[in-house]
Structure 1
Amino acid sequence: VKEMKELSGGYNIVGLSQGNLIGRAVLQYCDDGPPVKNFISLAGPHAGTASVPLCGSGIFCVIADALIKLEIYSDYVQAHLAPSGYIKIPTDMDDYLKGCRFLPKLNNEIPGERNATYKERFSSLENLVLIMFENDIVVIPRETSWFGYYPDGAFEPVLPPQQTKLYQEDWIGLKALDEAGRVKFVSVPGGHLGISNSDMRKHIVPYLKDKPSVSASLAATWHAIGEALGLMGNDVGVLLQSST
């Protein structure tokens, strides 16, 4: 990112599903990088997911699902299966905080290890657009797309983002962004990533400042969604667009 001249003046991120976590890692971890202006998130498991993501019926998926369910926070699973890095079992929080290698750090969840720089960078966004799909059964609960989640120790009720510890104690700056009016909580019909063209134009296009590139960005988003759903090849997950 730092070596891409076209992004030097700042850029926007459009994240798809787990690609949102990669986009946030770039935003929060990248030292001396160009600024991220707008972050548009579609179906991101920002607060984690409490279930194994849908994989399929092939032998690899059967083995992967079995490993995840048996030893989700083991070193082996964490090192070899990417989704294990953001699976958050609310009734197993001690092991999650100790063994999960990715999300606890990204969300500043580990007591005594919270990084003020991650919060500063996340709260520097001009706009954070969080799009949740009303019939999403891939990320569990669907409210994780808004940073909502289950309370520690139970699978009910689903807490809205404003009632989570991450928000109330403002671990990553979500509360600060929200109170400044820079968070848009958007709900659209459809399953995981099943966004319509009209909803894309309504909720995504306004934040792509470089108007001549909007059509290209929409086309790229559609293509990436197809890939994320397994229609066109490998999962892409993150789109970067210059904001200048």
Structure 2
Amino acid sequence: MEKCFRRSVLLSTVIAAMLFSFIPVSISIPFILFHGIGDKCSGGVSNFTQLLTNLSGSPGFCLEIGNGEKDSWFMPLIKQTSLACEKVKTMKELSQGYNIVAESQGNLVARGLIEFCDNAPPVINYISLGGPHAGIAKIPKCASGPICDIGEAMLKLEVYTDFVQDHIAPSGYIKIPGEISKYLEHSKYLPKVNNERPDERNSTFKDRFTKLHNLVLVMFESDTTLIPKETAWFGYYEDEGFDTLLSTQQTKLYREDWIGLKALDVAGKVKFESVLGDHLSISDEEVVEYVVPYLMQSCM
């Protein structure tokens, strides 16, 4: 009798397991957060990561690159991206796919991660907060302190020299109107991530970017850090100078679809959002409206 009972329990367990295997299980997609220049994965950034987790119910991780505060200034972006790539590939939590939230300069690390990282788990949704996607025309404003002072002093040297490009991260996305030939020849990051050089365009970068399910671009209407603020939407000055500011759809990057931005937009996957505050000044209510919905989606 006892043997019969055990066989019955075992059979029931096997049948239940088989039936359960056919029922789709919803799993929250984790997210990673990249902070901006001169910041680190503690303090306010840690609080923001936790806020996003609390509001969305999805596990979140701030991904630190080296010594965040210092290396965000002095480690070239191509190296920051390489380190981010290796970290992502070792995080088991991300192996089935993940979302990205990025602040300011962190967006260029995020974009490099999406486009350059081989054999990496897929990025599902990407939310950009004040990202300098099309470049900045002036040295970014920085909080006071010795790191800022040193970084700004070095940037005031010839920005397109190898020394500055190799030692000051924001030099990689400074794009001065009227000096575009020099920019394309000597800038070591933005022309690559934006597929700007005609003889070096990489279709793989475009293919990877267009696989995003959603691209959310948040611009800050009173932004005094990004010049122009429209760079957060991929808008920028014309190559010849500061006289004409091109909308996203007027730029060659969009019209010729160098990275797949137009393809994503035509497919309805790009959300151009704006908030009233200064750079990264976003309220909890705006976070709930523009960020959280894209972190709450689940995979089956």
Show CA shifts across 1:62-114 (max 9, x none).
44334323300001111111110110101100111111111100000011100
| Cα separation, 2, equivalents of 1:205 and 1:184 | 14
From 288, 294, 297, the counterpart of 1:201: 288
Q: How does 1:31-110 map to 2 (within 5 A)?
A: 31-56=118-143, 58=145, 60-110=147-197
RMSD in angstroms over aligned alpha carbons?
1.5
From 253, 259, 262, the counterpart of 1:166: 253
From 152, 175, 178, the counterpart of 2:239: 152
For residue 8 of structure 1, what is the aligned residue in structure 2?
Answer: 95
Checking the alignment, whether the CA contact within 8 Å between 2:154 and 2:168 is kept in structure 1 is no
Equivalent position SS for 1:13: strand
Checking the alignment, whether the CA contact within 8 Å between 2:218 and 2:233 is kept in structure 1 is yes
Task: Note closer, same or farther for the CA distance 1:210–1:6 as it changes in structure 2 (3 Å cut).
Answer: farther
| Cα separation, 2, equivalents of 1:107 and 1:54 | 23
Using the size of structure 1 for normalisation, the TM-score is 0.84
Gaps of 5+ in 1: 212-242
User: 1:203: Cα distance to partner?
Assistant: 0.5
User: 1:5: Cα distance to partner?
Assistant: 1.3
Task: Note closer, same or farther for the CA distance 1:71–1:37 as it changes in structure 2 (3 Å cut).
Answer: same
| Cα separation, 1, equivalents of 2:157 and 2:95 | 45
Q: % of aligned pairs identical?
A: 59
Q: Does 1:25 align with 2:112?
A: yes
Q: Does 1:129 align with 2:216?
A: yes
| Cα separation, 2, equivalents of 1:200 and 1:39 | 14
Give the letter aligned to residue 273 of structure 2. Answer: V
Gaps of 5+ in 2: 1-87
User: 1:57: Cα distance to partner?
Assistant: 5.1
User: 1:60: Cα distance to partner?
Assistant: 5.0
Show CA shifts across 1:163-212 (max 9, x none).
0000000000000000000000001010000000000000111101368x
User: 1:8: Cα distance to partner?
Assistant: 1.1
Task: Note closer, same or farther for the CA distance 1:171–1:68 as it changes in structure 2 (3 Å cut).
Answer: same
| Cα separation, 2, equivalents of 1:105 and 1:189 | 31
Equivalent position SS for 1:120: helix
Checking the alignment, whether the CA contact within 8 Å between 2:100 and 2:110 is kept in structure 1 is yes
Equivalent position SS for 2:218: strand
Tell me the number of residue pairs that the alignment of Structure 1 and Structure 2 aligns.
213
Give the letter aligned to residue 166 of structure 1. Answer: L
For residue 188 of structure 1, what is the aligned residue in structure 2?
Answer: 275
Which of the pair is proportionally richer in helix? 2
